[in-house]
Structure 1
Amino acid sequence: MSAPDLNDPGSSAIAPEVSAYCPHLTDKMLTDCANGLLVARQKTTYQAEHSDLLSRCWAAITGTGATRQQQINDHLVDGLEAAVGWLTDLTLRQSRSDLAVSALGETVERLTEKLGQTRTALVALDRARQDIAARMADLTQEVRRLDFKDRADDQRTLVMAAWEAGRFNHVPLLTQIFIVFDQLYWGDFGHYCRAHPERADGLRRIAIEEARRISRAALGMGGRDRDRVISVHAWLSIQDHAAAPDLLQAIACVGDWARAEEEPLVWTAARFSSGTEFPIHLPRLLTSEQVAMRMNEEALTRPQWRSSASGSNQDAQETQS
């Protein structure tokens, strides 16, 4: 490969000396500038080496000195023009880079603002999710309570229907009422009343009213008849036929938690065949409404520590569910 013509101001090849020190110069403008400066340096070096009087006179006569000076000037001008063009192009590129960086900065700023808005929206969404979860938990609990209430109401309906159909007629009427409320206590009805005492008043009032209605019918009272006062002896004597001894013992065992001082009506109803005297706190004359209300109070609100162990375990399991 031939060496570049350093006398040719239009040559774009890089001189080996320039390429050795500046291997990264590949742009034509930089190449022209570097070549021009190198040629100018060579020309001025040649002039310095031939500066004697004879050489200067010969150069003036032949015109080579003026030609050489003109070549130096041309190379310097070409180098400066190339440098100016390169700097102009570099400035334009720098301007475009600055504009791109500025646009990128604005984009980043907008993205940061959007990110802040997104973070705020996510926080609000998480709060809404927590509120919905809490509401769903409340609704789920309420649905379970309503289902529990329906089961309690169903049990009350079945027990009252069995009583009204004469299932318990082989024991006195007062004992029948105790058996009914005792079954309600150990069933879903009683579990619901203990788990939700603040909402059980309605169910208990319905049970009282049904017990009053069925007992009035057993006493021969019509729907519009005024409630009569009945003695305790009469309450314990109204029955279709005598009960078996095993049944009497079973009823006494079921009501053995009652105390004569605290639950006199339950105590009397469970021990009607023992021949013991009535408790001193037991009223001797009672209407059907009074019997139903007192039996509801004594049988459904009995102290838990005096209930049987199996019943307590059942209540605990129902409450957990």
Structure 2
Amino acid sequence: MKNRLLDGPGRVLECIYPKFIVDVVQGNDNPRQAPGVPQQQAFRERLTQEIMAQTQLRPWAMSGMLNENAVLRLGLAEKLASTRDPGHLALTRITQRLSAMQQAVSRPANPAARQLDELAEHFSQRAAWKEKALTRRGLAVQAGHHSEQVFNHWRVGNYSGWSMAGRCYVALEELRWGAFGDACRLASADVAKMLKDNLRVMAAEFLAQGIDAAITTRHYYHQWLSIPSTPGLMDYKDLLGWLGEWCDAERQPICWSVTQSWQPVALGMPRLCSAVRLATAMVDEVFENG
């Protein structure tokens, strides 16, 4: 009997839900959700079942029809987004995807097109309202609170099921999908730069503390990627792989090497790497993606 993902490695991760809703909207058009990676497909199916059970949505929503029926898939995304706030990044990506679908769908007397228009308008308004609400607050202050929360999770061991670099990656994903990422996207360029500079410093310090070394001391990459022996090890690896499935070995070689443990490390992954080098690269790769 497998442990529940949302009670195990995912118990404190808030980025799971917004990413999952975006995945539902993208469906088969998500290029990384290829059927040729069976362990990732099995993980997605298992995560879907858990989220459906947790949100008390109808069992038929778990069937393979989700990938074949866009109307059903979008209806599910709307229901999921009504159970909790998916956040600004997710709303923005959903709106962009729905806009692309509107341009591709045939119009004359097409009920699906009308439903798509209504859903696109709904999510577009939610994204606009969310952005307006966020900009009325102190974006930098909210980002600081969020950063403290995430790094406290790291400090008390909530990410300890992952490698040292994996813990950093999970923290960065949490920040990207939440208030910290909102500030980086919506605040001024100077504020965004300040936030990311501070993040690089904090991430480097936490990485160095994790192996009891100076932030500039270089270590063989295996030391950063070594996975601790923990109960439910595969669950932790699979969740990390799903979170990082957007990575590309050439464009995001560090994050690819950290998250896609079923693949060889990328050529761009330094074989000797300091905490500063690792943190700087991971922040750059993650936040270039949104």
With normalisation by structure 1, the TM-score equals: 0.46
SS in 1 for 2:217: coil
Larger Rg: 1
Q: Contact between 2:143 and 2:179, CA under 8 Å: does it hold in 1?
A: yes
Shift, 1:226, TM fit: 6.5
Indicate the residue corresponding to 2:162 in structure 1.
Answer: 171
Shift, 1:144, TM fit: 4.0
Question: In structure 2, what residue type is equivalent to 1:154?
Answer: H
Over the residues paired in the alignment, what is the CA RMSD in angstroms? Answer: 2.3
Q: Contact between 2:176 and 2:287, CA under 8 Å: does it hold in 1?
A: yes
Higher helix share: 1
Q: Contact between 1:265 and 1:295, CA under 8 Å: does it hold in 2?
A: yes
**181, 189, 194: which one aligns with 2:172:** 181
**192, 217, 241: which one aligns with 1:228:** 217
Distance 1:283 1:184, change over 3 A: same
Q: Contact between 1:212 and 1:289, CA under 8 Å: does it hold in 2?
A: yes
Structure number with greater CO (CA < 8 Å, separation at least 6) is 2
Indicate the residue corresponding to 1:149 in structure 2.
Answer: 140
**277, 287, 299: which one aligns with 2:264:** 277
Shift, 1:157, TM fit: 0.7
Distance 1:242 1:285, change over 3 A: farther
Question: In structure 2, what residue type is equivalent to 1:237?
Answer: S
Task: Give ranges in structure 1 of 5+ residues lacking alignment.
Answer: 1-140, 305-321
Distance 1:240 1:158, change over 3 A: farther
Q: Structure 2 CA distance, aligned partners of 1:249 and 1:300? A: 22
SS in 1 for 2:138: helix
Shift, 1:260, TM fit: 0.2
Question: In structure 2, what residue type is equivalent to 1:297?
Answer: D
Indicate the residue corresponding to 2:203 in structure 1.
Answer: 211
Indicate the residue corresponding to 1:162 in structure 2.
Answer: 153
1:244-269: CA deviation from partner (whole Å, max 9, x where unpaired) = 32232121111100000000111111
Q: How many residues align?
A: 158
Shift, 1:242, TM fit: 5.7
Alignment of 1:88-167 (within 5 A): 144=135, 147-167=138-158
Q: Structure 1 CA distance, aligned partners of 2:216 and 2:155? A: 19
SS in 1 for 2:266: coil
1:8-59: CA deviation from partner (whole Å, max 9, x where unpaired) = xxxxxxxxxxxxxxxxxxxxxxxxxxxxxxxxxxxxxxxxxxxxxxxxxxxx
Q: Structure 1 CA distance, aligned partners of 2:211 and 2:186? A: 34
Q: Structure 2 CA distance, aligned partners of 1:217 and 1:233? A: 17
Q: Contact between 1:171 and 1:243, CA under 8 Å: does it hold in 2?
A: no
Distance 1:287 1:233, change over 3 A: same
Shift, 1:220, TM fit: 1.0
1:248 aligns with 2:240: no
Distance 1:182 1:197, change over 3 A: farther
Question: In structure 1, what residue type is equivalent to 2:258?
Answer: A
**256, 264, 288: which one aligns with 2:275:** 288
Q: Contact between 2:139 and 2:187, CA under 8 Å: does it hold in 1?
A: no
Q: Contact between 1:169 and 1:240, CA under 8 Å: does it hold in 2?
A: no
**221, 230, 253: which one aligns with 1:264:** 253
> Share of identical aligned residues, percent?
21
With normalisation by structure 2, the TM-score equals: 0.50
**194, 200, 215: which one aligns with 1:202:** 194
Q: Structure 2 CA distance, aligned partners of 1:277 and 1:295? A: 18
**280, 293, 298: which one aligns with 2:285:** 298
SS in 2 for 1:200: helix
Question: In structure 2, what residue type is equivalent to 1:182?
Answer: E
Q: Contact between 2:146 and 2:175, CA under 8 Å: does it hold in 1?
A: yes
Distance 1:188 1:237, change over 3 A: same
Shift, 1:161, TM fit: 1.0
